[in-house]
Amino acid sequence: MPAISTNDFKTGMTLELDNGLWTVVEFQHVKPGKGGAFVRSKLKNVRTGQVVDKTFNAGVRVEQAILDKRDMQFLYRDGNEYIFMDTESYDQMQVAPSALGEAADYLVENSTAILAMYQGEIVNVEIPASVELQITETEPGIQGDRVSGARKPATLETGKVIQVPLFVNVGERVKVDTRSGEYITRV
């Protein structure tokens, strides 16, 4: 792995520190009137999502982690495993649900995702900010029940349960925000 200077930090860069992978969220070079310069940074743990503030002396060398990001297409589920295909090499790969995290709640057949791998292990899954999914189960809306902002639970085709407005029925397609898991609109 290449060692880089803290003077070369860029937002989005991935570092290997303290036996963990950290992404630089933001950084600032500081040159006080007295003393040496330093770099104040905010780092996010790639695996856990924990965000920490860390200060480095200017010019200190740290290990940069090179992530292999691949465009993958989700093909189907085989038992508990998710089967993905690399869109360039057409190689298939089995992925455990634990490696996908919450992204598994929004994957339907033929959807695409970007899998970031480090030393053969999936460390991050990027999916679109919103997806269109079908409602498979929900209670029917009651005619005349038009309380402003009223919601009811609905099960999506992936098995995830979200809150939707009363007028949404079984079989309809809805757009869902994958970052918050909230209903956006009917499609």
What digits encode the pLDDT tens for the residues 35-49?
889 999 999 988 788
Contact 105, 122 (CB under 8 A): no
**Whether residues 29 and 8 fall in one domain:** yes
Displacement of CA 160 from its chain's centroid (Å): 16
Residue range of the domain that includes 77:
68-126
Q: Is the pLDDT of residue 120 over 90?
A: no
Contact 60, 8 (CB under 8 A): no
- The single residue listed with the structure tokens 């060398």 is 61
pLDDT in tens, 148-162: 678 889 999 999 999
Alpha helical stretches, state H, 54-151: 97-100
pLDDT in tens, 17-40: 887 899 999 999 999 888 889 999
Domain boundary among 126, 151, 176: 126
Instruction: Count structural domains, the chain.
Output: 3
- The single residue listed with the structure tokens 């999502």 is 49
**Whether residues 9 and 60 fall in one domain:** yes
**What are 89's two structure tokens?**
């090499």
CATH code of the domain covering residue 111: 2.40.50.140
Half-sphere exposure of 160 (CA within 13 A, CB side): 24
**Whether residues 157 and 173 fall in one domain:** yes
